[in-house]
């Protein structure tokens, strides 16, 4: 079957499933929470005119800090990234260690006087903060300045033209109006003291001003309770501040609360909140909910203070969009849906050497965890699957290529070449990292199934089931030699959220590396994805 005919068939299949696939949009004017059932933590959302923009955390993945756009707060697509790569330490190149679970964290996104501004700080030495800016969030972002590190920080631009950074547990620091440095002798203080019911840091600062009052939203971990969102308000930016719990509820049959995010309005003056919940192996997923101003407080959720499972879309009749999407690799530019694991080696991948394919050239590595140019997209709940078609003719002895449900407990389908012969294995790898440098100190490998291959083209499929319950976070593996007859291989495996090592939801990952001499390659002909909401 030609690639063109295969692509036409894939489009037809996608059309059949379009009513339930790809987003939380139910197609009847409502959506179902989680609004994005995938790893999009630390949300900051702003509105500019009729457009909404959303930034999230992607840590060690490159390009980093995805900027997402929506017209209705339900259907989101990636339109740009703040940066292509980070070069501050060799660890971003997997040299002298790694940056697993570090890199870009909680980013602040703001708009002022025709320009967009974003601030993030890598949770990694050297501790610095980066301010990026652009006039067009769909275009290139420019590094504007390097300023100090502020933990889980938020820009705040006041009506009088002053600029601030709110961070940590109630800390504030005044910036120069042009955001190039902190302001000498400017405001620098702690806005409030943590009270006795709080068990830990208050984090995820987001400050807004509404009807002359200052509101600081933060995630709270109370003693003996679930995570929740609290709000501190004051008539003056310096305080004094009073506190109120504005959201404290489990959701979806899970004990974890919904918290850390922000509030914003639409063009009609209606208010909403976007906050995330931990969802195990799929990651930290955003929830969209109403925000109602009650006695001067931004109260979140429905009239009972609960996150609604099904809710009317804030804006109707918008095109369905998605973050994880299929790719036929028929462009000479890599789609914005993809992120590399750490900085890529740009001369070791190509979309033009074999047009219509993504060529990945094998580089020296010992496992998937130190393999360069591993290509990833988010896995999604409640149920999703992806298939990769791979031409293996360019592989050399010692090469290892395949498709993984990638996390610190990576499970995968691998094709190895040895003595001129190809073998397919299904197995897992589990990484141990040094606490300081995140250097790889050990990789435990287990093989569950093995099969000799006699063809040089293979189709690999991963299915992910992230529905809450005792059997959640299950991934299954299949292969085919003709894209028609499919075979299960190996056992079902469980994936998990590991905050100590990766701190990230599980990703689909296409990889290729060699334990011998470089020079081999694979051609990924396409990646096809589908998602079901039930």
Exposed, middle or buried, 369 (CB in 10 Å: 0-12/13-18/19+)?
buried
Please give the pLDDT value at position 22. 62
Count of C-beta atoms within a 10 Å radius of residue 162: 16
Q: Is the peptide bond before 34 cis (omega within 30 degrees of 0)?
A: yes
Q: What is the pLDDT of residues 152-172, one digit of tens each?
A: 999 999 999 999 999 999 999
pLDDT at residue 416 in the model: 98
pLDDT at 124: 85
Q: By the 8 A CB rule, do 493 and 428 touch?
A: yes
SS3 349: strand
Domains and CATH numbers, the chain: 40-312 (2.115.10.20), 339-532 (2.60.120.200)
**Average pLDDT, integer, range 473-482:** 97
Which structure tokens are listed for 517? 């001499």
Reply yes or no: is the peptide bond before residue 63 cis, omega within 30 of 0: yes
Average pLDDT over residues 245-253: 94
Q: What percent of the chain has pLDDT over 70?
A: 96
319, pLDDT greater than 80: yes
Q: How confident is the model at residue 3 (pLDDT cuts 50, 70, 90)?
A: low
pLDDT at 13: 39
Lowest mean pLDDT among 204-213, 341-350, 493-502: 493-502
Is the CB of residue 67 less than 8 Å from the CB of residue 80?
yes
Provide the pLDDT for residue 16: 35
Give the list of residues 6+ apart from residue 413 with CB closer than 8 angstroms, or none: 402, 403, 404, 424, 425, 426, 460, 462, 477, 479, 489
Burial 382-392 (b: 16+ CB within 10 A, else e): bbbbbbbbbbb
Query: If pLDDT is split at 50, 70 and 90, which confidence band does 199 have?
Result: confident
User: What is the rounded average pLDDT for all residues in the chain?
Assistant: 94
pLDDT band at 99 (very low <50, low <70, confident <90, very high): very high
Q: Using the predicted structure, report yes or no on whether residue 288 has a pLDDT greater than 90.
A: yes
Task: Locate 429 and state its tokens.
Answer: 């790898």
Note the pLDDT of residue 532: 84
Bridge partner list, 242: 233
> What does the pLDDT read at residue 17?
35
**Quick one: tokens of 252?**
């979806």
Q: Are 112 and 157 in contact (CB under 8 A)?
A: yes
- Could you give the CA distance from residue 358 to residue 335 in angstroms, rounded to a whole number? 11
Q: By CB neighbour count within 10 A (0-12 exposed, 13-18 middle, 19+ buried), where does 71 fall?
A: middle
Task: Average the pLDDT over 212-241 and give the result.
Answer: 95
Query: How far apart are alpha carbons 519 and 412 in whole angstroms?
Result: 23
Exposed / middle / buried, residue 426 (Cβ in 10 Å: 0-12, 13-18, 19+): buried
**pLDDT bucket at 200, cuts 50 / 70 / 90:** confident
Task: Give the separation between CA 81 and CA 84, rounded to whole angstroms.
Answer: 7
Average pLDDT, stretch 432-456?
A: 96
Window from 21-35, 202-216, 231-245 with minimum mean pLDDT: 21-35
More confident residue, 387 or 197: 387
Sign of CA dihedral 64, 69, 74, 75: negative
CA angle 27, 324, 499 (to 5 degrees): 115
3-state class of 303 per DSSP? Answer: coil
From the list 495, 221, 456, 211, the residue with the least C-alpha distance to 378 is 495
Q: What is the pLDDT of residue 12?
A: 41
> Pick the residue with more confidence: 282 or 125?
282
**Separation of alpha carbons 382 and 405, rounded Å:** 15
Residue 17: which H helix or E strand, with range?
helix 3-17
pLDDT at 362 over 90: yes
Cα-only R_g, the chain: 23
The residues with which 292 forms a beta bridge, in sequence order, are: 299
Q: How far apart are CA 402 and CA 50, in angstroms?
A: 42
């Amino acid at each position: 079957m030609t690639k063109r005919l295969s692509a036409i068939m894939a489009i037809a299949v996608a059309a059949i499933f379009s009513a339930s696939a790809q987003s939380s949009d139910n197609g009847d004017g409502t959506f179902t929470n989680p609004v994005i059932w995938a790893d999009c933590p630390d949300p900051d959302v702003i509105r500019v005119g009729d457009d909404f923009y959303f930034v999230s955390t992607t840590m060690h993945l490159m390009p980093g800090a995805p900027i997402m756009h929506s017209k209705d707060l339900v259907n989101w697509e990636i339109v740009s990234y703040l940066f292509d790569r980070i070069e501050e330490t060799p660890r971003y190149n997997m040299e002298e260690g790694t940056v697993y679970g570090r890199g870009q964290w909680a980013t602040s996104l703001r708009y002022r006087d025709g320009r967009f501004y974003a601030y993030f700080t890598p949770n990694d030495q050297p501790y610095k903060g980066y301010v990026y800016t652009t006039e067009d969030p769909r275009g290139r972002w420019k590094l504007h300045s390097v300023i100090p590190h502020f933990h889980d920080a938020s820009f705040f631009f006041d009506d009088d033209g002053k600029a601030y950074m709110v961070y940590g547990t109630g800390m504030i620091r005044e910036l120069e109006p042009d955001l190039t440095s902190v302001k000498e002798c400017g405001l620098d203080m702690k806005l409030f003291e943590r009270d006795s019911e709080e068990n830990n840091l208050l984090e995820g600062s987001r400050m807004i001003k509404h009807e002359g009052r200052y509101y600081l939203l933060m995630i709270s971990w109370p003693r003996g309770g679930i995570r929740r969102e609290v709000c501190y308000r004051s008539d003056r930016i310096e305080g004094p501040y009073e506190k109120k719990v504005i959201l404290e509820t489990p959701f979806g049959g899970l004990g974890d609360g919904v918290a850390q995010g922000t509030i914003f309005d639409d063009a009609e003056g209606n208010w909403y909140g976007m906050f995330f919940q931990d969802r195990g192996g799929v990651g930290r997923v955003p929830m969209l909910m109403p925000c109602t101003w009650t006695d001067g407080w931004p109260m979140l959720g429905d009239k009972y203070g609960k996150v609604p499972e099904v809710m009317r879309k804030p804006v109707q009749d918008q095109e369905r969009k998605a973050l994880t999407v299929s790719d036929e690799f028929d462009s000479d530019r890599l789609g914005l849906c993809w992120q590399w694991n750490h900085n890529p080696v740009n001369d070791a991948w190509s979309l033009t050497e074999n047009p219509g394919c993504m060529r990945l050239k094998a580089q020296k590595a010992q496992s998937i965890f130190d393999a360069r140019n591993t290509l990833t997209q988010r896995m999604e709940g409640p149920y999703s699957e992806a298939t990769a078609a791979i031409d293996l003719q360019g592989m050399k002895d010692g090469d290892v290529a395949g498709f993984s449900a990638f996390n610190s407990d990576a499970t995968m389908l691998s094709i190895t070449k040895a003595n001129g012969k190809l073998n397919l294995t299904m197995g897992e790898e589990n990484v141990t990292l040094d606490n300081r440098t995140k250097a790889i100190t050990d990789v435990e490998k287990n093989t569950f199934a093995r099969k000799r291959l006699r063809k040089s083209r293979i189709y690999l499929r991963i299915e992910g089931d992230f529905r809450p319950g005792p059997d959640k976070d299950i991934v299954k593996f299949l292969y085919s030699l003709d894209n028609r007859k499919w075979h299960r291989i190996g056992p079902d495996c469980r994936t998990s959220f590991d905050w100590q090592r990766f701190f990230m939801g599980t990703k689909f990952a296409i990889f290729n590396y060699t334990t011998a001499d470089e020079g081999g390659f694979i051609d990924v002909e396409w990646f096809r994805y589908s998602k079901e909401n039930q």
